[in-house]
Copies of this chain bind each other. A is one copy, B any other.
Amino acid sequence: MTARKGNLMEVRRDIKVLDATIRDGGLCNNFEFTDEFVRQLYKANVRSGIDYMEFGYKASRNMFKESDFGKWKFCKEEDIRSIVGDNPSDMKIAVMADVGRCDYKEDFLPKSESVIDMVRVACYIHQIPAAIEMIEHFHTLGYETTCNIMAVSQCSTEQIEQALEMLVVSSVDVIYLVDSYGSLYPENASELAKTYLKAVEGTDKKIGFHAHNNQNLAFANTIETMSYGVSYLDATVQGMGRGAGNCAAELLLGFLKNPKYNLYTLLCFIEKYMLQLKKDGVVWGYDLQYMLTGQLNRHPREAIAFTSEGREDYSEFYKTLLEN
């Protein structure tokens, strides 16, 4: 067993916290955040010491109608700039590009003309070649890049090792372990993290972790994988994200020992803006239906439908899951 890196008292200078509230949280409200919300979140993130803020997706406007979604599904340059100006802060700006669902050759400016710093390429494991093609394109444009391999809890060890081998010789900066179904436990999340960390040993590449909270383990898995060397940590305010949501930024900032992270400003944002979102009926977070799909290592889509139908017959839902 690989040793833990650092301890519970030390500052880990390699840690980067990425706030994915608008991107993953946007999946809860169709990306329909007000400009005021996004601007205040940007300010709060800067003051809280967040390292990266992800504004949303760069989705294909050929595949998705702009009028069907809030603007953060598309993250146009001018929309980001309307919030951050030239981003005169230390915090970097990220966007996500899904393999097969973005027009990456048309929709990205050279980095020198963009306020975006990092493009995160999300893919399933069979899409690694397509992801690498995109990563190389973004690298040539001058962006930092990540590859977020989703749903690894359903991949074989061989698939993961082969994907990592391919990524290690690519230009990607950060490889993310993504627990899409919230089915990992601290024990196997850590073992997977060690596999990723071992693959990039001796390179400058970093490993990230993106959690889902189906089994109330998002924060636990984040700090456990971190303790073995994972350094890019995704979080969202109050865990806002699809289904059971993500690792809560306030839990993470309260845990990290680097004095640059400021929990107070984040709490101010929560009470002014997040509570209202919940009162307005935006729904996310741990609940039994997500626990069940997490335990069964299943996509949360049935649990999301169960939630949106306002159902409470958990036992019946469980039976249905066991039947198919």
Contacts and interface: CB of A to CB of B under 8 A. Distances in A.
Interface stretch (A28-36, A77-85, A212-220): A212-220
A319 to B, nearest CB: 7
Dominant SS among interface residues on chain A:
helix
Contacts of A315: 264, 267-268, 271
A271 B216 contact: no
Interface stretch (A118-126, A250-258, A299-307): A250-258
Nearest to A4: B187
A91 interface: no
A223 interface: yes
Contacts of A114: none
Nearest to A227: B187
A220 B186 contact: yes
A151 to B, nearest CB: 18
A187 to B, nearest CB: 6
A195 interface: no
A188 interface: yes
A8 interface: yes
Given A186-B224, A223-B185, A223-B186, A319 B8 contact: no
Interface stretch (A18-26, A49-57, A287-295): A287-295
Interface string A167-193: 000000000000000000111100000
Residue of A188, A251, A255, A264 most packed against chain B (CB within 10 A): A251
A246 to B, nearest CB: 12
6 contacts: A186-B224, A213-B216, A216-B248, A254-B291, A268-B315, A275-B312
